[in-house]
Amino acid sequence: MPFATHALSQQSGVSAEPSRKVLLVDQAKELRLYLTPLLRAVGCEVVSVDNLLAARVELGRCRPLMVVVDWRVLPADGSPGCAALRSHARHGDVPILVVVGHHTPSELLETCVRGGAEDCLLGPVRISELQARLDVLRERTPGSPLRPMERRTPRTVLLVGEAPNTPGGLGADLEACGHHLLYASSTEQAVARVAEYGEPIHLLLARARVSSAEEMMRVERLRTEARLARVPTVVVADGDVTEVPMLGQVWLSARTLAPRHLLSRINGQLQRNLAALLVDERVPFVCPVEYREVGGFSWSSCYASELSPGALFVRTLVPARPGAALELRIHLSTIREVLEGPGIVTWSNPYTSRRTASYPLGMGIQFLGMSPRRLMQLRELIRGTRLM
């Protein structure tokens, strides 16, 4: 079952002046002794509290740039944890970073992820990792970022007839492919979402119970909108496709096509070949991950949210660039082992303060050159996760 945190907040969280405050939640006080001088050295004001309840109270007094949570303050009884911060009425959209150790129990990290944490730092925290996150939260990107190749830029899909986070829905699979989704429950809402978004739409995707002339006319009326006039259109019907589609509409049957083939046909309309990610086989899988670009020196940390036999899906505010070749360290705290291997960034969604589309922050990393033993180990991990 997908984690609720995959649906990210749509609140902008933008104040008139960027905050300099960082809220540090650390019961043992070890983390604050180490981090406070580092944060002050890069121009931050540190506010320290001992527990999550006190952190929630502090959120009512100020809006920090981010909240840094030491894993040792997380409740071990499976209670909400970071959800207490995420549910705050005014400042519940402030980014939450969890600092973990190499042997932090995976259950605690999973609880925090379910509660809404966007990122994870593997201790001891490196100043370069802190600086990278502060820069992106302050919307200060050093230098001129390289524009990704056109074949790696995100595609925007207008999905009509399906709600976000629908179990087994197309939206979640397409987000895992790196696409940006605009969800609409009706034709009227779809028109409003397109106008609000203001950017090009690359695919109109509609859900229908059956194929009928009435459904085709409903989709055709939507295609008459100026912003959708020349947009490729796919309709996925729950039943068999029996009617002859109108010109410009591609109808697919969810009953006769397997999920992998359905995704492949949709990605083909978007001119993307993402079959190697094996999105339809992914399972929730939370653990700390380290990565660095091949030939690089410093490692960066984040957390994995899902795993498939072909890819790792990670969450972070500062993902690597699309197309980057990476070295990976996947920390399996349950068995106290580190799984290493190469990968390539298939898609990347860095943090931005203003988002109208739905997509996960982080990146999709396709495994490359995995040995048969490692691939077998991955499949065993996935099989074990499905049985839990």
Q: What pLDDT sits at residue 374?
A: 72
Average of per-residue pLDDT values in the chain: 86
Q: Residue 350: phi, psi to the nearest 5?
A: -75, 165
143: tokens are 């230098």
Q: What pLDDT sits at residue 326?
A: 97
Share of the chain above pLDDT 70, in %: 89
- In the 8-state DSSP scheme, what is residue 82? T
pLDDT in tens, 258-310: 999 999 999 999 999 999 999 999 988 999 999 999 988 889 999 999 999 89
Domains in the chain with CATH codes: 15-137 (3.40.50.2300), 156-271 (3.40.50.2300), 279-387 (2.40.10.220)
CB 300 within 8 A of CB 129: yes
pLDDT in tens, 217-252: 999 999 988 889 889 999 999 988 887 777 789 999
Amino acid at 318: V
> pTM score > 0.85 for this model?
yes
Which pLDDT band, with edges at 50, 70 and 90, does 2 fall under?
very low
Q: What pLDDT sits at residue 69?
A: 93
134: tokens are 């502060």
Beta partners for residue 196, in sequence order? none
The span from the CA of 190 to the CA of 193, in Å, is 5
Q: What pLDDT sits at residue 386?
A: 63
Q: What pLDDT sits at residue 11?
A: 43
Q: What pLDDT sits at residue 245?
A: 75
pLDDT in tens, 31-56: 888 889 988 988 899 999 999 999 99
Which pLDDT band, with edges at 50, 70 and 90, does 1 fall under?
very low
CB atoms within 10 A of CB 319: 23
Amino acid at 253: S
pLDDT in tens, 319-356: 999 999 999 999 987 778 888 889 999 999 999 877 78
Helices (H) and strands (E) in the chain, counts: 10, 16
Q: What pLDDT sits at residue 10?
A: 42
